[in-house]
Every structure is written in C-alpha cells, then in structure tokens.
Chains A and B, each alone.
Chain A
Amino acid sequence: MRMKDQFRFVKQNMKKNKMRVFMTVLATAMGCAFLIVIASVPFGLHQTFVKDILQQDTINEISVQGIEKGDKYQPITEKDIKDLRKFDNVKSVTFQSYIEQTTTFSIDNYQLDTGAMAVDFKAEQDVGIPLKDGTFPSEKNEVLVGYHFATQLFPSDEKQNEKLYNEKGELKEAYQYKKEIIGQTFSMTITRMNEDGAEETKDIPVTIAGIIEKPTREWMMDTEVRISESLLHEIEQYTKTPNGQLTVPVDNQLQDKDNNYSNVTVHSYSLEQVQTLTEKLEEKHYLVYSAASSLSQLNMMFTIAKAGLIFIGTIAILIASIGIYNTMTMAVTERAPDIGIMKAIGANPKVIKRIFSLESSFIGLLGAAIGTIIAYLISLFVNFVVPLVIEAAFQEELPEGFKFSAIPVTLVIIAVVICLVVTVISGSRPAKKATKIDILKAMRREI
C-alpha cells in the first residue's frame, strides 16, 4: 500500500470523529505548550545571564588575586608579573596600582576629586583597551582618564553649592567643563603627611593623552585617572609611603616595598584558552578567578534546571498520551468491522498497524505544532508582562534585554521529539490490537 494512500486513510479516519480527535490534539498541544513554556524560563534566564557576563568585556580575562607561598596567599609581585607573562596563550598581563589617597585634578578653576591608579600603558594597549578619544600616553606625565571624567569636573568656587547635582547625582550641564580636555594639562594635587602629622600638598602637572571608552554597563561611571608607573614612583618619593598612602612615613618603608600589584589580570587570546590557562595557573598555586569559569558553572546549573523542567514538562505530555491511547483504542474498537473486512480481502497486518500508528503520530505532530505556536505566544506575552509586573511591584528596573522566557529551536526540537515519541508509544498498543482483530468476529460485528 502506497504511503500517499495510507495518509488518505488516516485523513478519512480522523474525519470520522472530528470532535474526539480535536480534543486529543488539544490535550497534546497543551502538554507540549506546557513543556516548552516551563523549560523556556531557564533558557531565557540563561541567555540573559550569559549575555550579561559576555557584555562585561572580561570574558577572556583571568583575575589573579594572589599566589600561595608556603601556607599563605601573598600579593602579586613584579617577579610574578614577569612569570605570568611567560605562560602559553597569554596575550598580556595588566595590573593596577591604586594611589591610596583621593587625588584632586584641577584646571581653569574646575576640579575633580577622584581616584588614580598606575597602569602599564603598553600592556593596556596590547589588550586593546578601547579609547573614545586621544592616544595612549607615551610620556611620564601623560595620563588616560575615564569616560565620565570631563562631565564631572565642577567649578572650584561652587564646591559647597548643593545645586551642583541633579536628582540622579549627576553634575548639572550648566556647571560642566565645556572645553576639550585632550592635550590639556591639569594639576594633580597630592597630599602627604609629615612626621608630626601635619599635611602638605604638591601639584604635579599631568597632560591628558586619551579618554577611555564608555563602560559597557549603563549604570557604571568611570572618572578615574590612569597614570604611569614612573609617576607613581614620583608620588611615592614625595609621600615617602607605598602607593602614596596618607600616613606618617616609617623609616625605610619605601625601600622594603616589594612592589605589590592589585587587580592583576591575565588576558588570553580567546575564550577557549581561558579554561586551560586557568588550570595551569592554579597548578602553579595562583589564586585565580575568571568570568569564563563562572560562565561554565552557570551553564552547568542552567543545564540541570533545563533538564529538570523538561522532565516535568514531559509528565504533562505523558498525561496527554493517556488521551491519545484512549482515542486510538476507541478508534480501533469502532473500526473493528472495517479492519476485519480489510484483512479478509488481503490487507497485511503491518499495513493496518502502520495506518493506526500514523494516525497517532499525526495527532502528536499536530498537537506539537499547535503547542509550539501557543508556547511562542505565551513566551512573548510573559516577556512583555513580567518586566512590567516586576517594575510595578518591586520598583526595580530590569536590565535592558532581560528575557524571562526564551524558546530556542533546540527546545522546540526536544519538545516535538518527546511529543512524537510519547504519542507513537501510546498509539502503538491500540495499533497492535488492530492487527490482532479476528476477521470472523469482526465481520460478525462481535467486537
């Protein structure tokens, strides 16, 4: 019997009891939609979190927080930096050495109190720290400033004016510094503490060579100033304290200093190398953390959540399969005389079985298709409504692009396959029953 004719038989059979078939398809569709919708939540949240991590621009980075020496973790030293640069697949090693006092930068009666840190400009350039404007410094007194540096410079004589800032804490435009800052020389005011505890200051001229690109996170504000290591050294010579600490200097404090670095970051060439590099660093007793490792943990956690929810969703389809089993059993019983006649004139039992199996598969496929459409609609609705509800109920603004529910093609494929397998299994027994129908009993209408 040709496949086309088998499909025609299935179509005819399904037309015979439209309402029952419709209800069965509906039950299957609901089961399938439930599976997809419930599993779409971890898929959606996973996508949101992964996107968030990837947006940090730190995915190829490994943060090195110290090294185990003896039984203790020690800060990273200059020698460790050199060692780190020797590892395979290391593109660059960057670090930051914070000046441990608030520095004031001033120009033309405008000023800004902000943090400053010494960095290795060459290493920063190697990893491709993006600049909004200008170039990387090449001279000792050249500096890089954060994206918001210029917008936060305020008039020095208005320092006590409470109206400087708007409700969001941003400097009002009327008070902002309007001139171009690239190439401008600012005074960097450093404070030191004398042996008697009295404070005195020194102005160091610094020229702004470049402005760093806007932080990827909307809410982040970067006003910090990056200076050269030699300028940090000059500051230390003036304060006579490590990292320009605003404390009373102790004898030989600077000479004993072993150049400790903070925020040491190893940059790999690609995401794929991060895991291997992390393992190698750990072998050498470095205390490391990478966004990629947390991404891998996140992936693992969400994979478990997805599998669990798909399992729960499958139960809904299993419940729907009872309906399919019932529908197909009824169909076989109702059509027993016809099956008997077909067998009597030479229908092969395999053909009879295939027709009924096709019918249950078709119900499953139709249910899965309708269920997928319903699931997509629910997902769209949920993604539209949930952020509004959360914002209204908790006064919390959700991050841009937040997805509560996502239905990737893989989820649809999984759901359709589960739906088909379950329906084929539930339809197989009635189909087998159809092949076992006794011809004589069927023709005598005794079934």
Chain B
Amino acid sequence: MIQIKDLSHYFELGKKGDKTTIPVLHDVSLSIHQKEIVTIVGKSGSGKSTLLNLIGGFMRPSKGHVWINQKEVTKLNEADFADFRLNHIGFIFQNFQLIPSMTAYQNVELPLILKGIDEVKRAEITRETLERVGLLNYHTHYPSELSGGQQQRVSIARALVLNPPIILADEPTGSLDSETEADLLGFIQQLNQELGITFLIITHDEEVASIGNRVIEIRDGRIMEGSVSQ
C-alpha cells in the first residue's frame, strides 16, 4: 500500500553562501500493507511528523521515493499530488483543521465539492458519513459549537467521506481528554475492521500506539532496529 525507500529530508537554514543543513530524516525505508494500522512513535523532533508530511505531499523530500498504491507520489507535481490526495488519502490532524466559517455538514461536504460530485449525491453521502460518526444531529453546528471529540469526529468524517484507502493521522488524540481519546481509538479500529482502511498514525502517546498492528519508533530521523510488531 505505502512503500518508502531511502527517504531523507533536511532543512536548510541561513542565507546563500552561509547555509546550515539540518538533517531530519535519514534513509528511511518502510512498507505499510493494506488494512494495517501502523503507529509511528518518537519524541518531539524525532522526524515522525516530517515523515507523515512527506508521505502526504505537504513537503518535498530531499532524497528518496514514496509509492502509494504503486504510484510514485514523490514524482508528482503539486497539482497532481493534490488530485491524488483527494482521491486516495484522508487526513486527520491534531488540531482538527476544520474551516471555522463552515458548519459540520459543510466541512464534511468539502472534499465532495472539490471532487465535483453533484449536489443530490453529495447530500446523501455527507449525511451518511455524519451518521456514521454519530454527528448527524450536529450538522448545522459550527466547529466552535462542538466539543473537541465532536470536532475530531467531524474531521474523521471529512477524511472518510470519499472512501480513501489510506488515512494519515497526525497526533489524532493530541487535543482530547483520555475518555474521548479511548472512544476515538475504538472508532479508528472499527473503521479499520469494517472498511479495511489503512491507518498510519503519528503519536507520542503509548495508548494510541498500542492500537497499531505495528509500532515503529523513530529516533533522530532513523527507524530504530527492532521496532515492535504486534
């Protein structure tokens, strides 16, 4: 499903002629299989979020290759990667990243609009997806009128609405209390089992990491040998 080969990334600081290169990822190679939940753990600054951003196309790698569904996404230009993201990848962010001026319904409907689906079909899919995450009754609410857990569910609904085979999640429970966190993790597992969605979850939380079929530890930009497989 996702194959990563010799992926490296470094940031360049300073002006021309006086540049400092700060390595973030070193020759990361990794395979994530269909229907897997893979959690990537590591301390702050270990490079785990950078890895997710490189897979999601939010950043360009300095070196290496990423294939998603046999497509080498590292070769795609910005516009093509945007189309690829829309059709193949769902995203869940730590701070939910909902558009505050849109209602829950409109936030979930957004990917369908971007894909050009007609209004009637859109309404049907959006309501169905909101029902799946248990928020149909809140569809007219704006993000500011929802709790953290509800906002994250809206975020998940938005990630799910186009039925992507992969969902990339960056600290999905980072802004939630422990009770809501457990609830959300259960929901992720349910989606994985019922819909066969592959999850790649970045976390520093052991509780979250424990739901992964595989837990991969990143330290100083390198995958640690002997990362735990469950």
Contact = CB atoms under 8 A, between A and B. Distances in A.
Interface of A: 1-2, 5, 12, 16, 338, 341-351, 439-440, 443
**Chain A interface helix/strand/loop/mixed:** helix
A344 B58 contact: yes
Contacts of A440: 53, 58-59
Contacts of A351: 114
B105 interface: no
**Chain B interface helix/strand/loop/mixed:** helix
Contacts of B17: none
Contacts of A349: 78-79, 82
Enumerate the 8 nearest inter-chain pairs by beta-carbon distance, A residue then B residue, closest first: A346-B86, A346-B85, A348-B82, A439-B58, A5-B113, A341-B97, A338-B99, A347-B114
Contact of B111 (A16, A346, A348): A346
B45 to A, nearest CB: 15
A348 B81 CA distance: 9
Contacts of A343: 82
B125 to A, nearest CB: 15
16 contacts: A2-B116, A341-B97, A341-B99, A342-B114, A344-B97, A346-B114, A347-B82, A347-B114, A348-B83, A349-B78, A349-B82, A350-B79, A439-B58, A440-B53, A440-B58, A440-B59
Interface string B63-98: 000000000000000110011111101010101011
Given A346-B82, A350-B79, A443-B93, 9 more contacts: A2-B113, A5-B113, A341-B98, A344-B56, A344-B93, A346-B83, A346-B86, A346-B87, A349-B82
A351 to B, nearest CB: 7
Contacts of A12: 101
Contacts of A346: 82-87, 89, 111, 114-115
A345 B86 contact: yes
A347 B115 CA distance: 9
Contacts of A342: 99, 110, 114
Contacts of B153: none
Given A1-B114, A2-B116, A5-B113, A345 B85 contact: yes
Interface residues of B, number: 29
Contacts of A344: 56, 58, 85, 91, 93, 97
Nearest to B107: A341
Contact of B110 (A16, A345, A350, A439): A345
Nearest to A351: B114
B157 to A, nearest CB: 12
Nearest to B158: A345
Nearest to B77: A349
B116 to A, nearest CB: 5
**Highest count of chain B CB atoms <10 Å: which of A2, A12, A345:** A345
B101 A338 contact: yes
Contacts of A350: 79
B37 to A, nearest CB: 21
A122 B91 CA distance: 95
A355 B49 CA distance: 31
**Highest count of chain B CB atoms <10 Å: which of A12, A338, A346, A351:** A346
A5 B112 CA distance: 11
Given A440-B53, A443-B97, A348 B116 contact: no
B58 A348 contact: no
A11 B13 CA distance: 41
A349 B87 CA distance: 15
Interface string B134-175: 000000000000000000000000110000000000000000
**Highest count of chain B CB atoms <10 Å: which of A5, A343, A349, A443:** A5
Contacts of B82: 343, 346-349
A348 B93 contact: no
Contacts of A1: 113-116
Nearest to B122: A5
A344 B159 CA distance: 11
Contacts of A338: 99, 101
Contacts of B99: 338, 341-342
Given A341-B97, A443-B97, A348 B79 contact: yes
Nearest to A436: B78
A236 to B, nearest CB: 94
A149 B80 CA distance: 89
A343 B99 CA distance: 12
A347 B97 CA distance: 15
Contacts of A345: 85-86, 91, 110-111, 114, 158-159
A195 B115 CA distance: 110
Contacts of B101: 12, 16, 338
Nearest to A340: B97
Nearest to A444: B95
Nearest to A445: B95
A341 B53 CA distance: 14
**Highest count of chain A CB atoms <10 Å: which of B95, B113, B116:** B113
A82 B229 CA distance: 116
A343 B111 CA distance: 10
A425 to B, nearest CB: 23
B39 to A, nearest CB: 21
Nearest to B89: A346
